[in-house]
Amino acid sequence: MTKERFILQVEYDGSNYAGYQLQPGFPTIQGEIEAALEKMYREPLRVHGSGRTDAGVHALAQIIHFDAPRELKNLNLRAALNTLLPPDIRVIRTAGGDKDFHARFSARMRHYRYIVSRRETALDRLRVWPLYHDLDVESMRICAEMIMGEHDFTAFCSAQAEVEHKRCIVSRSEWNSEGDRMIYSVSANRFLHSMVRSLTGTMTEVGKGRLTTDDFAALLENNPVPFTAFTAPPQGLYLVRVDYDIPIDWEKE
């Protein structure tokens, strides 16, 4: 029997999770969704996400697909999953997927946002990075501009990044101010482990005057330097959107 492929757009607060990907003994986004699906279908199912967000990182639109082993009659997939999932993980919308669609490998562009708060906050302490230093924003914007285009981001990724190569093509990289917040927006065809956090953290070091724009350029060019990239904390980072060439026909509510 042919299995039916389903696509989910999932929003989550990553504060209580060890990241998206399954990790034995730790709560993860993938683990919670697979547990919910197992309750529905009464057998283990594997889900595939567009990317592996780190511990504490959030998502507005993580895209996930899975293959249903059989049809469940009168199924409202979104409502059923949201009944079984914890409240900090929500399925926003669902779609039937073509067999050629893959949440990770079919993606052509991913969009992230990092939020820095310039004031102390109690309510958003797990959703922004409170940073009270005076910052040279113009220098940070110069660094953000350097990132545009294709580069080898070896200096800005975790040593855990086991990939064939570390080149990414960046189509957007910019800092914007919104009230007492500074928001870094970056889009690329792919991202490496901890890459956005390392870029953000290192740019703020330039903003603080601890590094120069030339230092940042040397890191980007993988030149020998007596320092390493600085990694920002996870709670300010959000996966905002994933783009595909294969159209997704989302169910209408």
Q: Alpha helices, DSSP H only, in 88-212? A: 137-146, 195-208
Enzyme catalytic residues? 54
Task: For the chain, give the longest Cα–Cα distance.
Answer: 62
Bridge partners, 239 (sequence order):
59, 112
Q: Is the sign of the CA dihedral 150, 197, 123, 133 positive or negative?
A: negative
Positions of E strands within the chain? 4-12, 48-49, 58-68, 89-97, 107-117, 129-130, 149-152, 167-178, 181-188, 237-244
Please tell me the chain's helix, strand, coil percentages from 3-state DSSP, rounded to the nearest 5. 25, 30, 45
Q: Alpha helices, DSSP H only, in 114-221? A: 137-146, 195-208, 213-220
